[in-house]
Amino acid sequence: MSSGREANNIHDPIKFWKYLVLPTIKATDILSLLIKATIAICTAASISLIFFFAFSNQSLCFPQYDTVLRNFNHRKITTTTTTTTTNTTTFQTTTNQFNSERTNISHILFGIGGSAKTWNQRRHYCELWWRPDVNRGFVWLDERPPENETWPETSPPYIVSEETSSFKYSCWYGSRSAIRIARIVKESFELGLENVRWFVMGDDDTVFFTDNLVTVLAKYDHNQMYYIGGNSESVEQDVRHSYTMAYGGGGFAISYPLAAELVRVLDGCINRYHSFYGSDQKVQGCLSEIGVPISKELGFHQV
């Protein structure tokens, strides 16, 4: 019987070509092949996407740090000239190639929060450590001093702070002056003074031991983002406000790259944290958003 069927197949040319061209294939084999092909295509596409995002411009993912990098690179390679005039001092500044010498007092710009009405009573604290021909910095006042008074040569030069009435402030037991003082670091940065590595903020009754301050700051890489200071020595204040904040009464330092980023977002932070009591709280809240924690140094004392 089998030999008869084979003979019939040979004599039937259509059946013969069906066996030759279209061999028997199971449906499950076709489905398995399609699934494998789909998996291979998806895998190849996924790997391609991973490599694309890994090697594409990282600024698309981290625009805020790209801004800092652009600011810092601009500072290092661009040469510009700026003239800044204060009540007693004119600074001719040129931004040039950053050098790598050890940090010294000339690399620090002090920003002291003061008031025109109380400066004569409180300036003696500042004059204990201020050296007019050595230190760089300004007292930031809420208004111009009376015209009939001569600004003391033993005090830092003053600058009148910008208007802050447009900012929100809702802390019922605080003072709106916290806004103005919080913005001192921003206004100091925007002066564009030459070769500043650190912005050091303090109150009008803060006493700095400048040699010790230089020694502390020299331990840190000023090319990185640093926020340096100390807690209050009052446990009550630490509990009420924060253990992760540099208290303004003891002074705190912000490196140039961090200041460049802080300046970009500070005004928005001040409005977001309108219920915060003090200027140091507002600055710390902003730095937390940037992602830079305090580097605690026990030499910064706030009592």
- Which sequence spans correspond to the domains of the chain? 2-55, 63-296
- Give the rounded percent of residues in the chain with a pLDDT score beyond 90: 55
pLDDT digit string, tens, across residues 105-115: 999 999 999 99
CA 244 vs CA 205, 230, 239: distances in Å: 23, 9, 10
Q: pTM higher than 0.85, yes or no?
A: no
CA dihedral 5, 6, 10, 13 (to 10 degrees): 50
- Using the predicted structure, report yes or no on whether residue 88 has a pLDDT greater than 60: no
Using CA atoms, how far apart are residues 118 and 155, in angstroms rounded to an integer?
A: 13
Q: How confident is the model at residue 274 (pLDDT cuts 50, 70, 90)?
A: very high
Name beta bridge partners: 232. 302
The dotted CATH code for 63-296 is 3.90.550.50
